[in-house]
């Protein structure tokens, strides 16, 4: 009897308000309007919060990379590639949940078009016949996938309780409204199936096309034994509950953590694109304070980052500091700053009085401790792992800048290293005049103005002053001389102060950069070759910020090139098992993974002798020396380099190859600390090639 009231007798169409009296239909529309208005205001509250941050939308910069941004949005925001690619229940769960809810939303939109637009305006129905059958089938499957995914989500968070989902430092779960919202959505999907199954069970006549609703049709068998009046009353009651819960969740959605569905997708559009260069402080000489100490000093993108954080803990899971039980958790940096930001949001009710927000607690100290900031190795594992494009690293460095430059309290003993960088041009505190002592017997030429060189060899401070890394420099000189490359070093080379920049001392970095760029500009060369990935990343990606535009390669890239064109012909001399440790500043920063492996493959006598550690390439574990940590003590938790040496031991490698002087130092120390100094050799790739020539 209900079917004929809403579907013409000659066609099969969706019975929109079966068993629902007119007054309830009107109530639904009124409630929907109220929920939509509350949702819109809640959405506006977030946009207003983002605008608290500094800076304006740079439409020119955005449009210049529009294709990349759209690709990021659809790849990471819509398709959630990083989450789905995880071969574990969490990734599959998230994909099913997201796409299940998206399809259900599309289904609701089509139902609205069918009833409100096509029926009233065009006097026909959209959801009819075969299209309606397909519609029902797809929505049933999507609802089932969403329901199962929600159950898995509840199990993972509240039964399995993985460490990456833990909350504040007390080790307790940071519940927020997760249980309420996730449970509500689970109940929403379930009651949707109950309403559908009751309609199928008691529609007069029971439709033959119910088979296209497999879940609802199966569940309808539960209700068929019930008396008609009880079944219809139950249908009406569950429909009211389902509709009311739907409207409530629409209104509550922008107020809940689940708003990250919108914020995170938006954030993927604005995510920072390679190269991963630190933003400079412009007009630094004119400023009185540096870095960030107040919430309003964050950029709008950083505030959006805080709002977009899903609290999934993927950044925390890959963070070397967090993995070794130090104070830092990149996830909690974002979580605490998000919670801190709530005081700057508009009131929940628009008519409530809103005074100019006053920060109740300082960011530094009470909200985020200095130790959390100094624990960061700037390895960028957190940024790389984040599925929604959050840049935790830039926030940490901005907060470090305040401590170092404004407060004048850098983490000791980094102040000594930075003083040596400024006075002696190197962090070791050794005389400037002794910079080239390690290679003065090799006949290396100093670059002369007016003479063009194939390669300007940027040796770096470690390659010039550190006894262990001087061996790498000598090996690289031997390789280039054997290949007949016309190369030279710059006599005026000094520390580029990359470590100082990442420790927050932007002033010292800019001073050193201006000096180096000026000296480089007086010379003529085709390429700069560095043996330090930190120098490589700085000169390649950050010197252009100061008009220093050069073609830069790493020494492993040059070696791979020389082997490839047979300028050098090393022999296959490695007979034992060897593994390679990826440098963060070569790998995650610059996506250089293959040249090193190609070189090692040419050196091993058996291809099976080259083995990968479990954490390698983009998932490689930092050595612990980046971000200025090379010059700091590591007194909390397990030492990161010890953990990395354990990775080497786990694959039973006799040699660990590296391509970074910081990594070399940390691996050397780790091998001694783990008492495997004699069992595991540490070699730079340049040394291995030089020995094989």
In the chain, the domains with their CATH numbers are: 428-564 (3.40.50), 578-692 (3.40.50)
Q: Kindly report the pTM of this predicted structure.
A: 0.89
Beta strands in 221-319 (DSSP E): none
Least confident of 162-171, 240-249, 420-429, 457-466: 162-171
- For 474-510, the pLDDT digits (tens) are 999 999 999 999 999 999 999 999 999 999 999 999 9
> Which residues 6+ apart lie within 8 Å of 397 measured at CB?
278, 378, 501, 502, 504
Question: What confidence category does residue 576 fall into, taking pLDDT thresholds of 50, 70 and 90?
Answer: very high
Q: Do the beta carbons of residue 547 and residue 520 sit within 8 Å? A: no
Q: Is the pLDDT of residue 660 over 70?
A: yes
Task: Give the distance, in angstroms, between the CA of residue 425 and the centroid of all CA atoms in the same chain.
Answer: 34
Number of H helices, E strands in the chain: 29, 8
Least confident of 13-22, 39-48, 66-75, 325-334: 66-75
Which tops the pLDDT comparison, 358 or 31? Answer: 31
Distance, in Å, from the CA atom of 276 to the CA atom of 374, rounded to the nearest integer, reads 20
Distance, in Å, from the CA atom of 683 to the CA atom of 687, rounded to the nearest integer, reads 6
Which pLDDT value is given to residue 174?
A: 47
pLDDT over 70, % of the chain: 93
> 3-class DSSP state for residue 525?
strand
With 0-12 / 13-18 / 19 or more C-beta atoms within 10 angstroms meaning exposed / middle / buried, residue 52 is middle
Which pLDDT value is given to residue 9?
A: 63
Q: At what angle do helices 414-424 and 506-521 cross, to 10 degrees?
A: 30
Which pLDDT value is given to residue 352?
A: 63
Which pLDDT value is given to residue 3?
A: 39
Question: What confidence category does residue 170 fall into, taking pLDDT thresholds of 50, 70 and 90?
Answer: very low
Residue 545, token pair as written in the block: 């910020």
Q: What is the per-residue burial (b if ≥16 Cβ within 10 Å, else e) of 253-268?
A: bbbbbbbbbbbbbbbb
Q: Which residues pair with 3 in a beta bridge?
A: none
């Amino acid at each position: 009897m209900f079917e004929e009231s809403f579907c013409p007798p000659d066609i099969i169409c969706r019975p929109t308000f079966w068993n629902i009296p007119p007054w309830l239909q009107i109530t639904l529309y009124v409630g929907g309007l109220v929920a939509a208005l509350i949702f819109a205001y809640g959405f506006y509250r977030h946009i207003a919060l983002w605008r608290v941050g500094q800076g304006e939308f740079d439409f020119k910069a955005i449009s210049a990379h529009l294709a990349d941004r759209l690709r990021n949005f659809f790849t990471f925001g819509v398709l959630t590639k990083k989450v789905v690619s995880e071969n574990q229940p969490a990734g599959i769960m998230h994909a099913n949940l997201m796409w299940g809810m998206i399809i259900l939303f599309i289904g609701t939109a089509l139902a609205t078009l069918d009833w409100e637009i096509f029926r009233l305006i065009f006097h026909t129905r959209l959801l009819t016949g075969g299209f309606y059958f397909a519609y029902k089938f797809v929505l049933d499957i999507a609802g089932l996938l969403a329901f199962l995914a929600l159950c898995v989500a509840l199990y993972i968070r509240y039964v399995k309780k993985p460490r990456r989902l833990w909350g504040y430092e007390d080790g307790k779960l940071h519940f927020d409204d997760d249980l309420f919202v996730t449970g509500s959505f689970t109940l929403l999907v379930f009651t949707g199936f109950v309403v559908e199954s009751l309609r199928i069970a008691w529609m007069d006549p029971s439709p033959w096309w119910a088979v296209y609703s497999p879940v609802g049709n199966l569940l309808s068998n539960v209700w068929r034994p019930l008396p008609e009046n009880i079944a219809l009353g139950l249908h009406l009651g569950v429909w009211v509950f389902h509709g009311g819960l739907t409207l409530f969740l629409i209104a509550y959605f922008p107020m809940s953590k689940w708003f990250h569905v919108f914020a995170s997708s938006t954030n993927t559009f604005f995510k920072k694109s390679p190269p991963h260069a630190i933003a400079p402080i412009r007009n630094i000489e004119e400023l009185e304070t540096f870095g960030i100490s107040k919430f309003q000093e964050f950029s709008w993108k950083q505030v959006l980052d805080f709002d977009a954080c899903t609290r999934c803990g993927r950044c925390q899971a890959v963070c070397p500091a967090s993995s070794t039980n130090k104070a830092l958790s990149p996830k909690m940096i974002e979580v605490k700053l998000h919670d801190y930001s709530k005081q700057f949001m508009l009131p929940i009710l628009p008519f409530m009085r809103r005074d100019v927000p006053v920060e109740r607690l300082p960011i530094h100290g009470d909200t985020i401790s200095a130790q959390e900031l100094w624990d960061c190795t700037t390895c960028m594992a957190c940024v790389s792992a984040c599925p929604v494009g959050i840049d935790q690293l830039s926030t940490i460095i901005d907060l470090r800048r305040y401590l170092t430059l404004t407060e004048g309290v850098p983490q000791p003993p980094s102040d000594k290293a930075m003083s040596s960088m400024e006075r002696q041009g190197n962090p070791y505190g050794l005389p400037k005049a002794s910079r080239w002592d390690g290679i003065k017997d090799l006949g290396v030429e100093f670059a002369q103005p007016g003479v063009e060189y194939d390669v300007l060899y940027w040796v770096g401070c470690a390659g010039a002053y550190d006894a262990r890394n001087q061996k790498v420099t000598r090996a690289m000189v031997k390789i280039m001389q054997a290949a007949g490359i016309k190369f030279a070093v710059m006599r005026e080379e000094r520390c580029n102060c990359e470590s100082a920049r990442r420790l927050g001392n932007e002033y010292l970095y800019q001073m050193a950069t201006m000096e180096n760029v000026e000296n480089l500009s007086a010379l003529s060369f085709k390429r700069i070759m560095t043996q330090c990935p930190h120098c490589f990343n700085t000169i390649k990606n950050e010197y252009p910020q100061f008009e220093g535009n050069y073609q830069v390669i790493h020494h492993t890239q040059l070696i791979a090139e020389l082997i490839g064109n047979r300028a050098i012909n090393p022999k296959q001399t490695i007979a034992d098992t060897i593994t390679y440790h990826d440098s963060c500043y070569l790998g995650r920063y610059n996506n250089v993974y293959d040249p090193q492996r190609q070189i090692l493959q040419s050196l091993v006598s058996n291809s099976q002798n080259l083995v990968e550690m479990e954490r390698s390439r983009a998932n490689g574990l930092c050595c612990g020396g980046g971000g200025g940590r090379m010059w700091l003590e590591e007194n909390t938790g397990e030492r990161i380099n010890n953990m990395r040496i354990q990775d080497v031991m786990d694959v039973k490698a006799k040699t660990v190859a590296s391509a970074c002087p910081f990594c070399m130092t940390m691996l050397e120390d780790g091998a001694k600390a783990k008492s495997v100094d004699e069992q595991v050799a540490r070699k730079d790739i340049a040394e291995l090639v030089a020995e094989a020539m």
